[in-house]
Structure 1
Amino acid sequence: MLRRLLVQVSTQHLCLFRPSAYSFRQCSSSSSSSSQIPDSSFVEHLEDLNQSNETTTQASAKISIDRSGLYNPPEHSHEPSSDSELVKHLKGIIKFRGGPISVAEYMEEVLTNPKAGFYINRDVFGAEGDFITSPEVSQMFGEMIGVWAMCLWEQMGQPNRVNLIEMGPGRGTLMVDLLRGASKFKKFTESLHIHMVECSPALQKLQYDNLKCVDEDDTGGIVDKRTISTLAKTPVSWYATLEQVPTGLPTIIIAHEFYDALPVHQFQRASRGWCEKMIDVAEDSSFHFVLSPRPTPATVFLMKRCKWAMAEELAKLDHIEVCPKAMELTQSIAKRISSDGGGALIIDYGLDGIASDSLQAIRKHKFVDILDNPGSADLSAYVDFASIRHSAEEVSEDVSVHGPITQSQFLGSLGINFRVEALLQNCTEEQAESLRTGYWRLVGEGEAPFWEGPDEEAPIGMGTRYQAMAIVNKKQGAPVPFQ
């Protein structure tokens, strides 16, 4: 099945390759949020969180990231400066509350504030942006996701109508490559209605343009005009949240580098138990971390996450990150797949266990302080794939969860090796070099051994840092390539 799809994918469509860049979204064990906080604050003792638990999960792995592809971060500036609108807004919330806000609240405002959020009013992707993602590296990534979607569609019985949903589509590059690569499979592309879940008006416009969309009215004015992607004559719709996407049809969901941007709550082990790290305004008017003097609402999710972990895993940790929105989103996805059929593919950087203090900030491909100039840098955290698995299985017995496996295993099993060989047969030497570089970045580990350019621009492989997980309706069996 996979070989047949790869052979039929049009080999004459060799795209203009993505601009090179030297960094990806990635976590660091020495992230700037990891500074220790004094335990002098009064802390409520959370006895339930320190008890042994018999629930078994894979033990947390130590986070270790190669930073060689990034420039050294600049020192935090303490010079007087006028506050931005977002900084004023954050300080206003803290003043109104009469106390600090959670890291999750800070993260959500910084990324998606309607007026000044990092994602809202600009294009942050690629070499000229703040970070680069897999679809921007090479056309092959989106093509392999298309192969996965077509295989799942066949397992679903080749339904005539399918909702294809992408969460956080960025520039729309992944979907463009998916549709272009699948263009010969008319029955598949004709079944699709694409739904883009995107909260940024600026990125919605980019996606509209890159998908070569047009608005047409073939209904005689009875209903609103439809938006069609001329790449495959496929209808496209936009929504701010998954809940707004219509239900009732078999569904394929793609969430690539979406979960890592969901806001996390951070907890630190203190002398009297676990307490939440918060953000407050210091005497010099800068932001700083403090510990909550009492249990917070997010403690409920901390207790839930700890019940899924082994006592040995918890004993090794002094910090824990929990992401309630990831748990809730996963449950919404699982319920939809349970009722409508289909499946979801989640690809992100993370681990199959509890994430410990992984939150980090990247601005212009450099690591920066998390609290420095909020709204000007991307914030992201490691994805807890074990939490995703437990959340899906908890809400529905009709779904099965597969993985995680490494991105290298995932793409390799789908046939990216055959695809790169086919493209290399019909390209210039310059394109061939871009192909080899892009291929290494997608499936390699560490620096590319063939690189002869400047050390600071050496391609860094994402193959083992990124993980893939699938959630599918049990009626369809195990999805490719998780069998």
Structure 2
Amino acid sequence: MLRKLLPQSLVFHRRLSNAYVTSQLAAPSVASRLSSPFSTHSSSHNPDGPSIKQLDHVDDSQFPPTATTISIDRSGLYNPPEHSHEPALDSELVKHLKGIIKFRGGPISVAEYMEEVLTNPRAGFYINRDVFGAEGDFITSPEVSQMFGEMIGVWVMCLWEQMGQPQRVNLIELGPGRGTLVADLLRGASKFKKFIESLHVHLVECSPTLQKLQHQNLKCIDQDNAAESAERRTVSSLAGTPVSWHATLEQVPSGSPTIIIAHEFFDALPIHQFQKVSRGWCEKMVDVAEDSLFRFVLSSQPTPATLYLLKRFKWAANEEIAKLSQIEVCPKAMELTQTIAKRISSDGGGALIIDYGLNGVVSDSLQAIRKHKFVDILDNPGSADLSAYVDFASIRHSAEEASGDVSVHGPITQSQLIGSLGINFRVETLLQNCSDEQADSLKSGYWRLVGDGEAPFWEGPDDSVPIGMGTRYLAMAIVNKKQGVPVPFQ
């Protein structure tokens, strides 16, 4: 157990536990989407693709002729077998992707493929479904235990204290999923009146389906403003906090101190993959083969993303690049980080980024997860989550390059982050006020958040043993230099 608590966060936790001991305990959860060992090799083999099925013909000879002869054309009839193992026809997204490739007259980048698969307005993986939780495709830390959101709340309150307790703060979460993290944060901090009254929550979410879930889980109430010219106001009844939704970070109003949370957001940003061959570094592309299946090919000449590859090389040591045969770069992560850094520079505040990744160059990490299992990246696009390791070193360089008024801290492990923020103190307090079943759930959730490997205390079924992700996730903070070093990166 991590016992080292920072004095500042401990004060908050003692008050938090006294005010919030009766909060609802997290329900048991299945393994996190990252609770299994990662696949470090993106498969490029092609699954069996769609084929044209043979038509069944009916033999007319069994019907004897009568006075009136009727001729029936049965060539267009098709009676499929009861059990067919052949793949279905192309989905709307597959047709769309093939249309892009055909229109371009050549392959598309892995980044474009990834962006279409995840966020296509009509058929993207995140757009029209709830992909989180046991019934979804993966589970994130906020879904594992209420304690995760509470710990992030402690970090936000500590930074707010370091900022001088401003009267208005924009609390922004990028990709908030079901809204579970913010909901737990608001519940846990609801007794801290001055802090809660300063917040305006802004959720950056492009999925209409998830926006509705967030509205529901935050127990939002839509209010008509008394002023005729004013827009409708949405308030979370969890703490009386105003809530707004935006498609991009740029749409969030600026001018107020800002605190940004990006939990498992950067890993879904589209990446470009490059492979080293005899003629140099070539970008990996997605094309359509003669059998109508998607396949990976290499670009025949430099692509626009090569500029970002050269930029990443500039930030890396020569010996680090020399031993690589593949590399991933994420231009959108670089650009988003610069946007975050510039806003923090002008408005004050900070950002906390938590994700799985490396503090250095990422080689080959792109993976697809469907129903908690790894599948082929090119198999049935739009039916599986695509994600890649986050290059935290690239985030650091991007932030420092964007503004000299910000400082970057970390990465540290998730275990170090929430351990220092006081999760041990919190779980011990909750264990004093729960049933045996709730205690098992708390211990399981705690291990998943801070542990490493299989939980040593587990006495349940082998296929349900909690797998810790405390060292697989890393945390990095970007703050305005005026705030000093944030908790717990001192």
TM-score (norm 2): 0.89
Question: Which residue of structure 2 lines up, in the alignment, with residue 158 of structure 1?
Answer: 165
Question: Which residue of structure 2 lines up, in the alignment, with residue 59 of structure 1?
Answer: none
Task: Tell me, in whole angstroms, the C-alpha distance in 1 between the residues paired with 2:303 and 2:88.
Answer: 33
Indicate how the Cα distance of structure 1 residues 459 and 29 shifts in structure 2: closer, same or farther if over 3 A, else same.
closer
Q: Deviations over 1:236-277 (max 9, x none)?
A: 000000010000000000000000000000000111111000
Say if 2:395 is the partner of 1:388: yes
Question: Which residue of structure 1 lines up, in the alignment, with residue 55 of structure 2?
Answer: none
One of 30, 33, 45 as aligned partner of 1:21: 30
Question: Which residue of structure 2 lines up, in the alignment, with residue 207 of structure 1?
Answer: 214
Indicate how the Cα distance of structure 1 residues 268 and 29 shifts in structure 2: closer, same or farther if over 3 A, else same.
farther
Matches within 5 A, 1:432-447: 432-447=439-454
Question: Which residue of structure 2 lines up, in the alignment, with residue 63 of structure 1?
Answer: none
Tell me the CA shift for residue 13 of structure 1: 3.0
Task: Tell me, in whole angstroms, the C-alpha distance in 2 between the residues paired with 1:31 and 1:441.
Answer: 21
Q: Which runs of 4+ in 1 moved over 3 A?
A: 25-32, 34-37, 77-80
Tell me the CA shift for residue 316 of structure 1: 1.3
- Contact (CA 8 Å) 2:43, 2:377: kept in 1 or not? no
Task: Tell me, in whole angstroms, the C-alpha distance in 2 between the residues paired with 1:104 and 1:194.
Answer: 30
- Contact (CA 8 Å) 2:34, 2:469: kept in 1 or not? no
Task: Tell me, in whole angstroms, the C-alpha distance in 2 between the residues paired with 1:331 and 1:301.
Answer: 14
Q: Deviations over 1:46-101 (max 9, x none)?
A: xxxxxxxxxxxxxxxxxxxxxxxxxxxxxxx9934300000000000000000000
- Contact (CA 8 Å) 1:32, 1:369: kept in 2 or not? no
TM-score (norm 1): 0.90
Question: Which residue of structure 2 lines up, in the alignment, with residue 314 of structure 1?
Answer: 321
Task: Tell me, in whole angstroms, the C-alpha distance in 2 between the residues paired with 1:419 and 1:16.
Answer: 12
Question: Which residue of structure 2 lines up, in the alignment, with residue 271 of structure 1?
Answer: 278
SS across alignment from 2:302: coil
Task: Tell me, in whole angstroms, the C-alpha distance in 2 between the residues paired with 1:236 and 1:316.
Answer: 48
Say if 2:482 is the partner of 1:482: no
AA matched with 2:320: E
AA matched with 2:27: R
Task: Tell me, in whole angstroms, the C-alpha distance in 2 between the residues paired with 1:28 and 1:135.
Answer: 20
Instruction: Flag structure 2 segments of 5+ consecutive residues without an equivalent.
Output: 1-7, 47-83
SS across alignment from 2:102: helix
Q: Deviations over 1:276-333 (max 9, x none)?
A: 0000001110000000000000000000001100011011111100000000000000
Indicate how the Cα distance of structure 1 residues 286 and 474 shifts in structure 2: closer, same or farther if over 3 A, else same.
same
Aligned pairs, number: 444
Say if 2:416 is the partner of 1:409: yes
* Structure exhibiting the larger radius of gyration computed from Cα positions: 2
Question: Which residue of structure 1 lines up, in the alignment, with residue 366 of structure 2?
Answer: 359
Q: Deviations over 1:131-186 (max 9, x none)?
A: 00000000000000000000000000000000000000000000000000001100
AA matched with 2:22: H
Task: Tell me, in whole angstroms, the C-alpha distance in 2 between the residues paired with 1:18 and 1:29.
Answer: 25
AA matched with 2:456: P
Matches within 5 A, 1:252-401: 252-401=259-408
One of 205, 209, 232 as aligned partner of 1:225: 232
- Contact (CA 8 Å) 1:22, 1:456: kept in 2 or not? no
One of 93, 117, 120 as aligned partner of 2:124: 117
Identical columns (%): 78
Task: Tell me, in whole angstroms, the C-alpha distance in 1 between the residues paired with 2:309 and 2:244.
Answer: 36
- Contact (CA 8 Å) 2:171, 2:202: kept in 1 or not? yes
Task: Tell me, in whole angstroms, the C-alpha distance in 2 between the residues paired with 1:219 and 1:248.
Answer: 25
